[in-house]
Homo-oligomer: A and B are copies of this chain.
């Protein structure tokens, strides 16, 4: 390898001071953008490696933000993270990602790593069973934390998520307006705030319409496309099958529709199906999927914004912000109602 390149090598090359080079490499706002870019290009060309480990012992900021969610392969989280990433990119924060798969020890190992690296902050969709204590421990060790998608009672930090009970009630109200009286809910678990709130919204919307949900209408469990597929196949075999289902998520609903079709039923005609999240695929699916838009863009932007605010020295908030969901009516719930109306006419 070439001889070790020093700050002064770059400074001489460009005719600027070593202090300017040092500030530019640390992304100091004191250096103009164009100068910083010139210095970074020269540093790269000369083969200079900035040692952030040593530098971060001298300064208090590492420039790293950790993000930890159940599974980034789930498009719901993937879509939120694209917006988080966009905000952090703009502020030159490095974005480090990890899945916890609802395994508390995996989540703790990642948080430990962030603490050990001296990361600036954490954006977390907490694993099932995360004690409020874990969040307070991170905060107490100077790792400002913002929650997304799921929140934790007593954590004392701010969080951003959809208003799940309200959103699921929108879905149920729509199906009732389409003429359905027997509406199942497929997927989700009472172990997460999301699962509890969506089931509560489903149950209370039915009761408000004078319908008492039967126990067998609540099909707990599925949270993925694969388990939704299995649920769709079982549902097709059910005695006294409800005419409509609301699903815990679009992933569950898309798998559920595959499962119905595999069993010889036509989703949207034989069974009305509504999803939750409005991921990109919902619009192009066959049939297109009625769903509840869950504000991924707003959750991502606002969570990143709240964390960056904290890093800028603004005081912490402990508020949970509920984003208002919006119903998107498409073919998977509208075919059936339209057909029924024509037959009755």
What residues on B are CB-neighbors of A32 within 8 Å?
A: none
Measured in the bound complex, the distance between the Cα atoms of B42 and A145 in whole Å is: 23
Measured in the bound complex, the distance between the Cα atoms of B140 and A53 in whole Å is: 19
Q: Are B96 and A137 in contact (CB under 8 A)?
A: no
Knowing A262-B284, A280-B226, A285-B258, say if A53 contacts B117 (CB, 8 Å).
yes
- Answer yes or no: A334 CB below 8 A from chain B CBs: no
Residue of B nearest to A79 (CB): B73
Residue of B nearest to A110 (CB): B94
What residues on B are CB-neighbors of A63 within 8 Å?
A: 113
What residues on B are CB-neighbors of A280 within 8 Å?
A: 225-226
Interface size class of A (residues with CB under 8 A): 35 or more
Q: Are B115 and A49 in contact (CB under 8 A)?
A: yes
Measured in the bound complex, the distance between the Cα atoms of B94 and A115 in whole Å is: 13
Q: Are B109 and A94 in contact (CB under 8 A)?
A: yes
Q: Are A97 and B94 in contact (CB under 8 A)?
A: no
Measured in the bound complex, the distance between the Cα atoms of B56 and A57 in whole Å is: 11
- Answer yes or no: A78 CB below 8 A from chain B CBs: yes
Q: Are B141 and A113 in contact (CB under 8 A)?
A: no
Measured in the bound complex, the distance between the Cα atoms of B49 and A115 in whole Å is: 7
Scoring A residues 60 to 85 as 1 if CB is less than 8 Å from chain B, else 0, what string do you get? 00111000000011010010000001
Measured in the bound complex, the distance between the Cα atoms of B79 and A99 in whole Å is: 13
Knowing A78-B72, A255-B284, A261-B286, say if A98 contacts B99 (CB, 8 Å).
no
The contact of A53 among B89, B98, B118, B225, by CB within 8 Å, is B118
Interface residue ranges of A168-227 to B (CB < 8 Å): 225-226
- List, sorted by A's number, 24 A–B pairs whose CB atoms are closer than 8 Å: A1-B140, A44-B108, A47-B141, A50-B116, A51-B116, A53-B53, A53-B57, A53-B116, A54-B57, A55-B116, A57-B57, A72-B78, A73-B73, A73-B75, A89-B106, A94-B110, A96-B98, A97-B97, A97-B98, A226-B284, A255-B284, A257-B286, A258-B284, A258-B285
